[in-house]
Amino acid sequence: GENVEQHPSTLSVQEGDSAVIKCTYSDSASNYFPWYKQELGKRPQLIIDIRSNVGEKKDQRIAVTLNKTAKHFSLHITETQPEDSAVYFCAATEGSQGNLIFGKGTKLSVKP
Amino acid sequence: DTAVSQTPKYLVTQMGNDKSIKCEQNLGHDTMYWYKQDSKKFLKIMFSYNNKELIINETVPNRFSPKSPDKAHLNLHINSLELGDSAVYFCASSQRRDSYNEQFFGPGTRLTVL
């Protein structure tokens, strides 16, 4: 089955700096890679996603890159703000079935 | 309007008891899911349910059973609760089961087994 590894587990940056979170996956049939943000005590919410036929996608300060050959994808947050502080999860589909397998999360702290 | 709702928000119970968590979605989605988030924040799929087809994560004990009275509801029944069942349980839904479908999560139910 699919296995998703996520690094780092914790990340602390200064406000205004960039943050990068990296994930690898094992199932070459995976075709959808979403990123979820979970604030303390809240539900996970989708912030950006990418399909396997796209190499990069950007939405304002957030971007995701995908390297299908190497089976890894990354989340990039530029100009970080304190409200970006949260746990971020990457995920990959189990084959094309739609069930998501999540990484173990990265706790991002943005210091003002 | 709340898209995916769960009740109760908190559930405290004794070992050995049987309990249920309810989930409802008003998005008209075809597929619903249950996830378990443990104390280390690891999110793990337990079930997905689509048009009466249930896909079970093979690691889920058979004490856990999802029940869907209709497309908008997917309840989770847990029998003979154990200490290790303590976690936050999230319900989610998506338009379809296939890929490229955003999953919308409910607010979670924090289950504590004493």
State whether residue B41 sits within 8 Å of chain A by CB.
yes
Q: What is the pLDDT of residue A42?
A: 96
Q: pLDDT by residue (tens digit) across A18-34?
A: 999 999 999 998 989 99
Q: What is the pLDDT of residue B77?
A: 97
- Residue B85 has phi, psi (to 5 degrees) of -80, -10
Q: What is the pLDDT of residue A109?
A: 98
Interface test with B, best of A40, A100, A104, A107 (most B CBs within 10 A): A100
Q: What is the pLDDT of residue A79?
A: 98
Q: What is the pLDDT of residue A98?
A: 66
Q: What is the pLDDT of residue A1?
A: 80
Phi-psi region for residue B77, left (φ > 0), alpha (ψ -120 to 50) or beta? beta
Q: In a 3-state reduction of DSSP, which class is residue A82? A: helix
Q: What is the pLDDT of residue B102?
A: 87
Interface test with A, best of B43, B59, B90 (most A CBs within 10 A): B43
Chain A residues closer than 8 Å to B45 by CB: 99-102
Mean residue pLDDT of chain B comes to 92
- Which of the four pLDDT bands, split at 50, 70 and 90, describes residue B92? very high
Q: In a 3-state reduction of DSSP, which class is residue A83? A: helix
Q: Is the pLDDT of residue B99 over 80?
A: no
A14 DSSP assignment: E
Give Cβ neighbours of residue B77 (< 8 Å, ≥ 6 apart).
Answer: B18, B19, B20, B64, B65, B66, B67
- Three-class SS string for B57-98? CCCCCCCEEEEEEECCEEEEEECCCCHHHCEEEEEEEECCCC
Chain A residues closer than 8 Å to B55 by CB: 97, 99
Give Cβ neighbours of residue B33 (< 8 Å, ≥ 6 apart).
Answer: A99, B45, B46, B47, B48, B49, B74, B91, B92, B93, B94, B103
Question: In this predicted model, which residue has the larger pLDDT, B67 or B1?
Answer: B67
Give the residue among A93, A59, A52, A98 at the shortest CA–CA distance from A76: A59
Contact B41/A104, CB-based, under 8 Å? yes
Interface test with A, best of B23, B51, B53, B99 (most A CBs within 10 A): B99
Contact B45/A99, CB-based, under 8 Å? yes
Q: Is the pLDDT of residue B53 over 90?
A: no
Q: Is the pLDDT of residue B100 over 80?
A: no
Q: Is the pLDDT of residue B51 over 80?
A: no
In whole angstroms, what is the distance from residue A1 CA to residue A12 CA?
32
Q: What is the pLDDT of residue B57?
A: 79
Q: What is the pLDDT of residue B17?
A: 97
In whole angstroms, what is the distance from residue B96 CA to residue B22 CA?
21
Nearest CA in chain B to A102: B43
Q: How large is the average pLDDT for residues B15-25?
A: 97
Extract the residue ranges of chain A whose pLDDT is less than 70: 96-98
Name residue B19's beta-bridge partners: B78
Whether B87 contacts B111, CB under 8 Å:
yes
Q: What is the pLDDT of residue A4?
A: 96
With b for 16 or more beta-carbon neighbours within 10 A and e for fewer, the A41-69 pattern comes to eebbeebbbbebeeeeeeeeebbbbbebe
Respond yes or no on whether the N-terminal peptide bond of residue A8 is cis (omega within 30° of 0): yes
Q: How large is the average pLDDT for residues B51-63?
A: 83
Contact A43/B96, CB-based, under 8 Å? no
How many angstroms separate the CA of residue B57 from the nearest CA in chain A? 10
